[in-house]
């Protein structure tokens, strides 16, 4: 097994790590860097549980190689500190088992940052990228809309 | 997790990519170009794509072009579906893009990757086939520009080691009335049943289909039948259905009969609506 050293900028920290070139970003974040916030679900790009932020865009980390992320700024749910979105998720009961929550938070954070004036169509278009097995969609949508209505921004490496 | 190892290269020019491919090929590494990588990673995970080396094309400037200039639209093959959609240059293509996968995945999926993918749907092909777009292809002999309709037959007919660089269309083609309808068995997202795209030019409607057979296509005979004003619409559709050039798909998304049923009714909707204005 050939491994080589790469440096990833994760949550504003430079992290050196040995990877196989075929390792996905999801695998490296969880298994090599101990950042278990991004969740493995389908591993096929369908569920969004593994969503992180790469250079300001929501990204399914099971669809990206770790080596592709060299030179980019990666934010995982561990890097989202004290943001109104998290409070809104709590206030609106926007989770049940919580497995999909990190993915929804990352995707919603990117939505709020990139489309602060998002209308219902844009919100639906973005949120459709994630699946919630407990089907808490309405509450998640309400949480996101409440933050957009407040005009508060998310955070991450922007 | 992909169970096998491969080498990863990220050349910064077309020449470097082409020569890298050749040398890796000579070493028996079975190299493949890597654009968004979404298909390579997902099929690689289940061992349906195997390779000893991937050549990432996202640092080649020509593959990232996105411009409207001299009445032409140019799309670099490594541009993501979301960037292309946000450029708002080509509404017909945007409509097809908006139905592919989901917003987050479209931050990664690229136009060239979708056109060259193994997946049967490849819906970005439909508007490009209907608007007589051109493709720029690089190979060991240099660059060539060809009509997509000439090089696309079930798949994009690339020679070994050739790389799709850009897709170009005349701006006036992008302004023609169109319709693009995607049918799924259930919900608004998820894998498609079929997509029917139509474009009206010179009082004729051109059609292209994805998900009906095992590859996307445009067919002149079917166009002829569907435009035959001497027949009522239902009869035109019956005639067109007799000309479908390959077996109709049957899979988990729908049986052959179900696909034929949906195809017929959707075509009727298309004929009813595209007579007039552009619809999105
Ligand atoms: C959640 C999800 C839902 C999806 N839903 C749909 C859908 O509804 N409709 C649909 O059409 N697709 C769908 N797909 C499939 C998706 O379209 C493909 O994974 C995608 O098109 C591949 O694009 P890519 O840029 O990631 O290509 P890559 O994975 O990089 O490449 C795909 C293939 O094309 C070759 N290739 C790439 N670029 C070039 C080039 N410039 N020149 C020569 N060869 C090249 C590669 O070698 C490889 O064989 C879905 C995928 C996911 C993850
Ligand atoms: S685990 Fe990545 S999308 Fe499901
Ligand atoms: S809260 Fe359980 S999967 Fe969404």
pLDDT tens sequence across B124-173:
999 999 999 999 999 999 999 999 999 999 999 999 999 999 999 999 99
CA pair distance B174, B267, nearest whole angstrom? 22
Which of A146, A157, A134 has its CA nearest to residue A55? Answer: A157
Inspect the interface and report whether the beta carbons of A48 and B4 lie closer than 8 Å.
no
Which residue out of B49, B102, B114, B188 would a mutagenesis test of the A interface target, given it has the greatest number of A Cβ atoms within 10 Å? B102
**Are β-strands B66-69 and B72-76 bridged in parallel, bridged antiparallel, or unpaired?**
antiparallel
CA B80/CA B11 separation, integer angstroms:
18
Phi, psi angle pair for B64, to nearest 5°: -110, 5
Rounded Cα–Cα distance for residues B252 and B275 (Å):
34
β-pair partners for A24? A65
Could you read off the pLDDT of B192-223 as tens digits, one per residue? 899 999 999 999 999 999 999 999 999 999 99
| Mean pLDDT taken over chain A | 94
Q: Helices marked H in chain B — which ranges?
A: 14-26, 38-45, 81-87, 91-97, 111-116, 125-130, 148-151, 220-226, 233-241, 256-273
Query: Closest by alpha carbon to B126, among B79, B74, B90?
Result: B90
Query: Chain B residue closest to A31 (CA)?
Result: B1
Which residues have C-beta within 8 Å of that of residue A128, sequence separation ≥ 6?
A: B102, B103, B188, B189
> What's the pLDDT tens digit per position in B63-95?
999 999 999 999 999 999 999 999 999 999 999
List the alpha helices (DSSP H) in chain A: 25-27, 84-91, 101-114, 120-127, 137-150
pLDDT 10s digits, A34-58: 999 999 999 999 999 999 999 999 9
Tens of pLDDT, residue by residue over A113-153, are 999 999 999 999 999 999 999 988 999 999 999 999 988 76
Residue A155 has a pLDDT of: 58
Domain A79-150 has CATH 3.65.10.10: no
Is B177-274 CATH 3.30.390.50?
Answer: yes
pTM over 0.95: yes
Ligand nearest the Cα atom of residue B193: 1
Q: How far is the CA of B10 from the centre of ligand 1 (A)?
A: 18
Ligand 1 neighbour B123 (Cβ under 6 A) = yes
Task: For B103, name the nearest residue in chain A, comparing CA atoms only.
Answer: A126
pLDDT at A157: 42
Contact between B42 and A44 using a beta-carbon 8 Å cutoff: yes
- pLDDT given for residue B280 in this prediction: 43
CATH number of B61-174: 3.30.465.10
Both tokens of residue A136?
């808490």
Share of chain B above pLDDT 90, in %: 93
Element (H, E) at B166: strand B163-170
- In the reported structure, the alpha carbon of residue A51 is separated from the centroid of ligand 2 by a whole-number distance in angstroms of 7
| A4-77 carries CATH number 3.10.20.30 | yes
What would be the CATH architecture of the domain defined by B7-56?
2-Layer Sandwich (3.30)
ipTM of the complex: 0.96
Residues of chain B with CATH 3.30.465.10: 61-174
Q: How far is CA B209 from the centre of its chain?
A: 11
Q: How far is A128 from chain B (nearest CA, A)?
A: 7
The structure tokens listed for A28 are: 């490296």
CB count in 10 Å sphere of residue A41: 22
* Contact call for A45 and B105, based on CB within 8 A: yes
| Structural domain boundaries in chain A | 4-77, 79-150
Contact residues for A148 (Cβ-Cβ < 8 A; gap 6+): A112, A116, A118, A123
Per CB-CB distance under 8 Å, the chain A contacts of B54 are 21
**B contact set with A (CB within 8 A):** 1-2, 4-8, 36-38, 41-42, 44-45, 54, 56, 58, 82, 98, 101-105, 107-108, 188-190
Per-residue pLDDT reduced to its tens digit, B95-104: 999 999 999 9
Q: What are phi and psi of A143, to 5 degrees?
A: -60, -45
Query: Residues of A with CB below 8 A from B190's CB?
Result: 46
Rounded Cα–Cα distance for residues A143 and A94 (Å): 7
pLDDT cut 70: percent of chain A above it: 96
**Residues A51, A61: contact at Cβ < 8 Å?**
yes
């Amino acid at each position: 097994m050939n491994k080589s050293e790469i440096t990833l900028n994760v949550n504003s920290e430079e992290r050196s790590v040995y990877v196989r070139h075929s390792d996905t970003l999801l695998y490296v974040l969880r298994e090599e860097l101990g950042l278990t916030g991004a969740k493995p679900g389908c591993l096929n790009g369908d569920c969004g549980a593994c969503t992180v932020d790469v250079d300001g865009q929501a990204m399914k980390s099971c669809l990206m190689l770790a080596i592709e992320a060299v030179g980019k700024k990666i934010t995982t749910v561990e890097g989202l500190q004290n943001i109104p979105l998290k409070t809104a998720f709590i206030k609106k009961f926007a989770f049940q088992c919580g497995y999909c929550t990190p993915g929804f938070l990352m995707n919603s954070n990117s939505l709020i940052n990139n489309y602060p004036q998002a209308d219902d169509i844009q919100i639906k278009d973005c949120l459709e990228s994630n699946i919630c097995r407990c089907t808490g969609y309405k509450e998640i949508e309400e949480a996101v809309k409440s933050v957009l209505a407040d005009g508060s921004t998310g955070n991450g490496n922007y | 997790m992909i169970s096998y190892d491969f080498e990863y290269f990220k050349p910064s020019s077309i020449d470097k990519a082409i020569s890298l491919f050749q040398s890796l090929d000579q070493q028996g590494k079975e190299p493949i170009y890597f654009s968004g990588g979404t298909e390579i990673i997902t099929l690689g995970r289940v061992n349906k794509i195997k390779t000893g080396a991937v050549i990432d094309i996202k640092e080649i400037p020509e593959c990232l072009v996105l411009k409207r200039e001299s009445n032409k639209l140019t799309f670099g093959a490594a541009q993501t579906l979301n960037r292309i959609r946000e450029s708002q240059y080509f509404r017909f293509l945007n409509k097809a893009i908006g139905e592919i996968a989901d917003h987050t995945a479209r931050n990664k999926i690229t136009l060239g990757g979708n056109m060259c993918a193994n997946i049967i749907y490849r819906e970005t092909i439909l508007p490009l086939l209907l608007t007589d777009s051109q493709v720029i292809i690089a190979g060991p002999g240099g660059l060539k520009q060809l009509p997509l309709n000439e090089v696309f037959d079930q798949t994009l007919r690339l020679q070994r080691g050739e790389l799709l660089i850009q897709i170009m269309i005349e701006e006036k083609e992008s302004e023609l009335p169109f319709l693009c309808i995607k049918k799924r068995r259930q919900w608004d997202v998820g894998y498609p049943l079929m997509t029917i795209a139509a474009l009206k030019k010179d009082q004729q409607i051109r059609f292209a289909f994805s998900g009906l057979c095992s590859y996307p296509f445009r067919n002149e005979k079917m166009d002829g039948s569907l435009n035959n004003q001497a027949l009522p619409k239902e009869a035109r559709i019956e005639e067109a259905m007799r000309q479908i050039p390959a077996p109709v798909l049957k899979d988990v998304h729908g049986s052959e009969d179900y696909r034929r049923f949906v195809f017929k009714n959707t075509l009727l909707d298309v004929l009813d609506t595209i007579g007039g204005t552009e619809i999105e």
